[in-house]
Amino acid sequence: MSEAPSQVTPHAPVGGSEFDRDTMVRTREPGVHEAQLSPGWAIGKALNGGYLLAVLGRALRQALPHPDPFTITAHYLTATVAGPATVRTSVARAGRTVSTASAGLYQTDSRGTEVERIRVLATYGDLDALTDDVRTSAEPPAMPPREQCFRATDHPGGDAAVPEMGRRLDLRLDPETCGWALGAPSMRGEIRAWLELADGRDPDPLSVLMAVDALPPTGFDLGLTGWVPTVELTVHVRARPAPGPLRVAITTRNLAGGFLEEDAEVWDTADRLVAQSRQLARA
Amino acid sequence: MSEAPSQVTPHAPVGGSEFDRDTMVRTREPGVHEAQLSPGWAIGKALNGGYLLAVLGRALRQALPHPDPFTITAHYLTATVAGPATVRTSVARAGRTVSTASAGLYQTDSRGTEVERIRVLATYGDLDALTDDVRTSAEPPAMPPREQCFRATDHPGGDAAVPEMGRRLDLRLDPETCGWALGAPSMRGEIRAWLELADGRDPDPLSVLMAVDALPPTGFDLGLTGWVPTVELTVHVRARPAPGPLRVAITTRNLAGGFLEEDAEVWDTADRLVAQSRQLARA
A271 close to A235: Cβ distance less than 8 angstroms: no
Q: Give the residue with greater pLDDT, A163 vs B75.
A: B75
Per-residue confidence (pLDDT) for residue B3, from 0 to 100: 40
Q: B157 and B235: one domain?
A: yes
* B256 contacts in chain A (CB < 8 Å): 130, 133-136, 238-239, 272-273
Other CB atoms within a 10 A radius of the CB of residue B45 amount to 10
pLDDT in tens, B26-67: 999 999 999 999 999 999 888 999 999 999 999 999 999 999
Residue A14 belongs to some domain of the structure: yes
Q: Which of B70, B119, B261 sits opposite A280 (nearest CB)?
A: B70
Per-residue confidence (pLDDT) for residue B132, from 0 to 100: 81
Dist. CA A58–CA A37, nearest whole Å: 13
- Spans of chain B, pLDDT less than 50: 1-8
Residue B82 belongs to some domain of the structure: yes
DSSP symbol at A270? T
- Three-state DSSP class for B247? strand
A74 close to B234: Cβ distance less than 8 angstroms: no
Residue A236 belongs to some domain of the structure: yes
Search chain B and give the residue with CA nearest A136. Answer: B254
Which residue, among B259, B267, B276, would best test binding to A if mutated, counting the most A CBs under 10 Å from its CB? B259
**Is the pLDDT assigned to residue A2 strictly greater than 60?**
no
Dist. CA A251–CA A237, nearest whole Å: 18
Residue A47 belongs to some domain of the structure: yes
* A134 contacts in chain B (CB < 8 Å): 255-257
First to last CA, chain A: 52
HEC string of B105-142?
Answer: EEEECCCCCEEEEEEEEEEEECHHHCCCCEEECCCCCC
Q: Give the residue with greater pLDDT, B69 vs A45.
A: B69
Per-residue confidence (pLDDT) for residue A162, from 0 to 100: 77
B215 exposure class (CB count in 10 Å sphere: 0-12, 13-18, 19+): buried
Per-residue confidence (pLDDT) for residue A160, from 0 to 100: 66
The whole-chain average pLDDT of chain A stands at 92
Residue A78 belongs to some domain of the structure: yes
Q: Pinpoint the alpha helices (H) of chain A.
A: 18-22, 49-63, 205-211
Per-residue confidence (pLDDT) for residue A9, from 0 to 100: 55
Which residue segment(s) compose the domain that B190 sits in? 146-282
pLDDT in tens, A223-273: 888 888 999 999 999 999 999 999 999 999 999 999 999 999 999 999 999
Q: B166 and B269: one domain?
A: yes
Q: Which of B73, B133, B239 sits opposite A121 (nearest CB)?
A: B73
Q: A103 and A150: one domain?
A: no
B88 exposure class (CB count in 10 Å sphere: 0-12, 13-18, 19+): middle
The CA distance from B78 to the nearest CA of chain A, in Å, is 9
B92 close to A116: Cβ distance less than 8 angstroms: yes
Q: What is the mean pLDDT of residues A59-80?
A: 98
A209 close to A53: Cβ distance less than 8 angstroms: yes
Dist. CA A155–CA A139, nearest whole Å: 30
CATH code, domain with B262: 2.40.160.210
Residue A3 belongs to some domain of the structure: no
Contacts of B79 (CB under 8 A, 6+ apart): B45, B46, B117
b (16+ CB within 10 A) / e for A153-181: eebeeeeeebbbbbebbbbbbbeebbebb
Residue B135 belongs to some domain of the structure: no
* A120 contacts in chain B (CB < 8 Å): 121
b (16+ CB within 10 A) / e for A20-45: bebbebeeeeebebebebbebbbbee
Q: A258 and A191: one domain?
A: yes
Dist. CA A170–CA A198, nearest whole Å: 5
Contact A236 B261 (CB under 8 A): yes
pLDDT classification of A155: cutoffs 50, 70, 90: low
Dist. CA A62–CA B231, nearest whole Å: 21
- Three-state DSSP class for A91? strand
Q: Position A123: which residue type?
A: T
Task: Provide the number of structural domains found in chain B.
Answer: 2
Residue B247 belongs to some domain of the structure: yes
Q: Which of B92, B119, B122 sits opposite A116 (nearest CB)?
A: B92
Q: B164 and B220: one domain?
A: yes
Choosing from A96, A126, A156, the residue where a domain stops is A126
Q: A211 and A121: one domain?
A: no
Q: A212 and A256: one domain?
A: yes
